Amino acid sequence: MATGSPAYTWLDDALETIHRAHWHRHPQSITQGPGPEIELEGQRLVNFASNDYLGLTSHPDLKAAAIKAIADWGTGSTGSRLLSGHRLLHKELEQAIAQWKGTEAALVFSSGYLANLGTITALVGKRDLILADEYNHSSLKRGAQLSGAKVINYGHGCPEVLTDLLVKHRDHHRRCLILSDGVFSMDGDLCPLPQLVAIAEEFQSMLLVDDAHGTGTMGKMGTGCREHFQLPVGDWIQVGTLSKALGSLGGYVAGSASLVDFLRNRAATWIYTTGLSPADTAAALAAIELIQREPERIAQLQLNVDYLAKGLEGLAKLNFRRSPINSPILWVGATNPAMALEMAKHLREQGIFAPAIRPPTVPHSRLRFSVMATHSPGHIDQLLETLDRYYLD
Ligand SMILES: *Cc1c(COP(=O)(O)O)cnc(C)c1O
């Protein structure tokens, strides 16, 4: 409650503005989960709002690994890895990520957000140039701002615009860094990776691709967009998260041994923060081992995505246009934020949990559906039937 101190009254005014624009949000309490079905504030719902794409968060192997790590190492990591020493587990996880991704090395941060902030601010500064896809994730945008480099956005997924900007600006700067999501978190489409790699090489620019949603979901082995496009590993920078398909917490950077050694010495969000907890580290390691042992989970996810996408295409009123490449993120548009909220509310009443995504997160309001490998055909049918009825009424 406001205490009445005039220094803080602007907070209530600001909140009022947020409410009026239908932008206000607050988290809801899950009373049972995680999984394709959850209980949200007492109501049983089919869950299309989770990043746990492979359903690993509740897998017995991950739970057992986390419990064992706590038994062996305790609950905390006790300090910065440089000053306090890291656990063998940290090293094992980094080696496992590098081996899985096919890179020389990898470095684990406490979250994907921190991996982006730390990496971008270490790689570029005032004399440098950043070219960024306009739809990039908040962590790439904030990292770019914080770095002090000159930041220019290019049109979403548009290599031609990127090239024009490089022709115009590249020579006026020392280093250049191109930033893009791999799978875009709100649109579910992929960056034009083969073109980005070629352009980066042509203009002597670094390229960082954030595969938070591609990790564990794209490519047969789930190593991400690079595998999907069947590109060689190269020396560009692959960022990802342990917090989505891998069912744990943390972020990683995978690339050359020099890159990783440099980041260990220059990335402030890695140096000045406590290492990932033993339980999170062990769970992520177990997830990577599991995916490699049982890649059929990823194939199942891709089948489920295909099933939902075909179903959405079949609902004529929806105007759903399927992209040529399907990530586990699908969405249908709403004409405005209030309508997106109303659709989400209607689905919720019918037993379906799917978030309304509104400005400022995206320019155009929508309902977003995140598909899981553990959704049954019945779960997906329930979503499709509910949408069908909504558009008939
Ligand atoms: C979720 C996400 C992140 C943040 O990852 P966390 O590990 O949750 O901090 C970074 N980038 C993108 C594109 C994301 O979708």
pLDDT digits (tens, 9 = 90+) for 205-231: 999 999 999 999 999 999 999 999 999
- Average pLDDT value for the chain: 94
Q: Does residue 369 have its Cβ closer than 6 Å to ligand 1?
A: no
User: From ligand 1's centre to the CA of 212, what distance in Å?
Assistant: 5
Within a domain: 22 = no
Q: Does residue 136 have its Cβ closer than 6 Å to ligand 1?
A: no
Domain extent at residue 232: 60-293
Ligand 1 pocket test: pick from 210, 217, 361, 362 the residue with the most ligand atoms within 8 Å of its Cβ.
210
Of the residues 262, 293, 324, which one is the last residue of a structural domain? 293
* pLDDT for res 1: 52
Q: Which atom of ligand 1 is nearest to the CA of 183?
A: 13
Same domain membership, residue 321 and residue 301: yes
Same domain membership, residue 320 and residue 280: no
Within a domain: 18 = no
Is the bond preceding 34 in cis, omega lying within 30 degrees of 0?
A: yes
Same domain membership, residue 65 and residue 109: yes
Residue 285: what are its φ and ψ, rounded to 5°?
A: -60, -45
Q: How far apart are the first and last CA of the chain?
A: 42
What SS3 state is found at 46? Answer: strand
Of the residues 248, 275, 293, which one is the last residue of a structural domain? 293
Residue 83 reports pLDDT greater than 80: no
Same domain membership, residue 273 and residue 344: no
* pLDDT for res 393: 64
Q: Does residue 113 have its Cβ closer than 6 Å to ligand 1?
A: yes
Q: Does residue 248 have its Cβ closer than 6 Å to ligand 1?
A: no
* pLDDT for res 23: 81
Same domain membership, residue 301 and residue 237: no
C-alpha radius of gyration, the chain, whole number: 22
Predicted TM-score of the model (pTM): 0.94
Number of helices (H), then strands (E), belonging to the chain: the values are: 15, 14
User: Residue 281 and residue 62: Cα distance in Å, rounded?
Assistant: 10
105-109/43-47 β-pairing = unpaired
* pLDDT for res 360: 82
Region of poorest pLDDT, from 9-23, 29-43, 133-147, 150-164: 29-43
Q: Does residue 211 have its Cβ closer than 6 Å to ligand 1?
A: no
Mean pLDDT of 45-67: 97
Q: For residue 64, what is the domain's CATH number?
A: 3.40.640.10
Structural domains of the chain, count: 2
* pLDDT band, residue 195 (cuts 50/70/90): very high
335: amino acid identity, one letter: T
* pLDDT band, residue 31 (cuts 50/70/90): confident
Within a domain: 116 = yes
Same domain membership, residue 305 and residue 287: no
* Residues with Cβ within 8 Å of residue 299, at least 6 apart in sequence: 220
Q: For residue 334, what is the domain's CATH number?
A: 3.90.1150.10
Within a domain: 281 = yes
